[in-house]
Structure 1
Amino acid sequence: MPFKSVLTVTGARQGEDDLKLAAKLCEEINAHLSVLVVVLASPPAGGEYAAVVSTAWLKEREAEMQQLERRTSVVSKMLSQTAVSADLSSDYPEEAWADDIIGRRARYTDLTVIGPELLATHTLKKRVIEGALFWSGKPLLLVPEGARATLKPKRILVAWDASLEASRAVREALGMLVGADEVRIVMVDPIEDERHHGQEPGADIAAYLVRHDVKVTVDRLPSSNQSTAAVLFRHAIDTAADLMVMGAYGHSRLRERIFGGATRSAIDNPPLPIFLAR
């Protein structure tokens, strides 16, 4: 399915680079750009000092809302100068509920893009990633500093572990896979049985993609006492991949977000653009 609508999220202290990146991606594929400006509300004071600091807290919140208004105005001006179709919204949520709000907004787009500026933040980055992965049902593209971002990649590495999450990531990325010159299905220490990779690891997913006219190569790699993420990232660099497609393994329980090792590595330190879905 082609991406016709792309979401990016920006905070009060970010510049224009992530916005320009998202706009460029939309230009590349003739997609609509949705921008959500988010400022996280300061938590209320608690304990015996609440009465003393409540006035200061209210002033802090007022300053944050003014920040949000100014940032929204700046982003609006920037969007008016781009050639892409765009819409703009803003929100001032409590941190604990920010991922819900971001996720609901992401449901009305095909893809959420997180650029280097947002990746360099801590709290807002975390909320955007969790909102997009747990609450939208849509995929996420992480673009690290110095990486060339494109939604028409020529060389794609698919991290395949035969999981539901990996299957969904492949399906969400199918339009890009079909258009690529080379797609490498990469497995690390694949297990040869019907409950895992089958009798010939990689054969089933390769056959599925070939039916969609995807140009497929299957790589089975040993971990050699390295983490799965390290093996995948090294292979992506060695094969000059433009993009890695992977399933985001994790679950939400009592508002805690718990990610698998490879997912966490992709989120914390992506060496190339990563396309995630779960």
Structure 2
Amino acid sequence: MSCKTILSVVRVDQDEHDLLDAVELCREIDAHLSVVVVQLAPPPPMGDAGVIATVWLDERKNEETRLDSYVAKVCDMLAETGISYSLEGKFTEIASAGDQLGERARYSDLTVMGAGLTLDLDLKSRAIDGCLFNSARPILLAPSRGKISLKPKNVMIAWDSSLEAALAIRAALDFIAQAETVHIVLVDPKADIRKNGQEPGADVARYLARHSAVVNVYQLSSMGRPVADVLQQHAMDMSADMIVMGAYGHSRIRERIFGGVTRSMIEGSKVPVFMVH
């Protein structure tokens, strides 16, 4: 994956740590940083339209002013970094935020989502879903602690023989090939000629080995635990710098109602997660 433009999605008044992480990523690979500062518009009020409408319009105006002020602050900060960058503020309705951010992400090679987005769950959810489903580009989720890097030494691949997992590997191939160690992890795999083959993980391991990756294959038993917990624990045990995985092998609706690996990894991983749908 040749990464020349990195998109960073941030909220108004977000901790500068996330922006500085994105700056360092760009320095690491000599890439352009594109920053979008997002402010979700307050929803229309319910009640006496004549009385409440004025308050609502004033609130929207105040939020737009906050956005402009923060964009100016970010501009000053980025100007001091010496990197190539572009910056825009986006005041958007909640319902259309995901689509707008997804369309914006099409013009970047990778979208980075910092941990600071967790303080605005509406924005985080719409940003992640929008960029995954509407951009055809990967995203990198930063954990609340620790650094993110596009030159990881230890990479863990969550492999389930799905199309999404294959796309994730292809998008992260440059990172994988340059890593010191690559762990291919399968949870509760079943030998199946039509899917995993007679030796689950062997096919993808041979493929990556031809790209000079040093590969180990792990077939793990969940022992009744959620798959996401097994993956996260193994990533911590091997001191992974990045988890590579496909996103939403099932529909978003099903994952939200019944739970799923993608949703759990988005909500709780302590290791940077590189995702593709």
- State the TM-score, normalizing by the size of structure 2: 0.95
SS in 2 for 1:39: strand
- In the other structure, the counterpart of 1:166 is 165
CA deviation string 1:158-179 (max 9, x = no partner):
0000001101110111010011
How far has the Cα of 1:148 moved from its partner?
2.1
Is the contact between residue 25 and residue 150 of structure 1 (CA under 8 Å) also seen in structure 2? yes
- In the other structure, the counterpart of 2:193 is 194
Code of the aligned partner of 2:131:
A
Deviates more, 1:95-104 or 1:118-127: 118-127
Flag as ranges the 4+ runs of structure 1 deviating above 3 A: 250-253, 256-260
CA deviation string 1:135-157 (max 9, x = no partner):
11111111112122111000000
- In the other structure, the counterpart of 2:251 is 251
Map 1:52-131; keep pairs closer than 5 Å. Answer: 52-131=51-130
CA deviation string 1:158-216 (max 9, x = no partner):
00000011011101110100110000111011111123211111111111111211111
Is the contact between residue 65 and residue 92 of structure 1 (CA under 8 Å) also seen in structure 2? yes
Is the contact between residue 21 and residue 147 of structure 2 (CA under 8 Å) also seen in structure 1? no
How far has the Cα of 1:264 moved from its partner?
0.9
How far has the Cα of 1:258 moved from its partner?
6.9
Q: Matched residues in 2 for 1:260 and 1:198: separation?
A: 27
How far has the Cα of 1:119 moved from its partner?
3.0
Q: Matched residues in 2 for 1:259 and 1:7: separation?
A: 31
Q: Matched residues in 2 for 1:71 and 1:251: separation?
A: 36
- In the other structure, the counterpart of 1:16 is 16
Deviates more, 1:128-137 or 1:19-28: 128-137
CA deviation string 1:35-79 (max 9, x = no partner):
001111111123x42222001111111111111110111111111
Gaps of 5+ in 1: none
- In the other structure, the counterpart of 1:217 is 216
Is the contact between residue 190 and residue 197 of structure 1 (CA under 8 Å) also seen in structure 2? yes
CA deviation string 1:111-138 (max 9, x = no partner):
1111121234311111211111111111
Q: Matched residues in 2 for 1:136 and 1:147: separation?
A: 27
SS in 2 for 1:92: strand
Q: Matched residues in 2 for 1:20 and 1:6: separation?
A: 13
- In the other structure, the counterpart of 1:147 is 146
SS in 2 for 1:24: helix
Deviates more, 1:157-166 or 1:126-135: 126-135
SS in 2 for 1:83: coil
Cα 1:252–1:232 shift into 2, 3 Å: closer
Question: Paired residues, what number?
Answer: 275
Is the contact between residue 7 and residue 34 of structure 1 (CA under 8 Å) also seen in structure 2? yes
- In the other structure, the counterpart of 1:41 is 41
How far has the Cα of 1:239 moved from its partner?
1.1
Code of the aligned partner of 1:40:
L
Q: Matched residues in 1 for 2:3 and 2:258: separation?
A: 26
CA deviation string 1:15-35 (max 9, x = no partner):
311111100011011111000
Identical positions, percent: 48
CA deviation string 1:76-99 (max 9, x = no partner):
111101121100112111001000
Q: Matched residues in 2 for 1:238 and 1:214: separation?
A: 20
Cα 1:258–1:22 shift into 2, 3 Å: farther
Q: Matched residues in 1 for 2:256 and 2:174: separation?
A: 29
Is the contact between residue 33 and residue 87 of structure 1 (CA under 8 Å) also seen in structure 2? yes
Q: Matched residues in 1 for 2:182 and 2:241: separation?
A: 10
Is the contact between residue 139 and residue 275 of structure 1 (CA under 8 Å) also seen in structure 2? yes
Q: Matched residues in 2 for 1:65 and 1:268: separation?
A: 29
Deviates more, 1:81-90 or 1:256-265: 256-265
Deviates more, 1:124-133 or 1:180-189: 124-133
- In the other structure, the counterpart of 1:204 is 203
Deviates more, 1:244-253 or 1:222-231: 244-253
Is the contact between residue 256 and residue 263 of structure 2 (CA under 8 Å) also seen in structure 1? no
Q: Matched residues in 2 for 1:245 and 1:259: separation?
A: 23
Code of the aligned partner of 2:116:
E
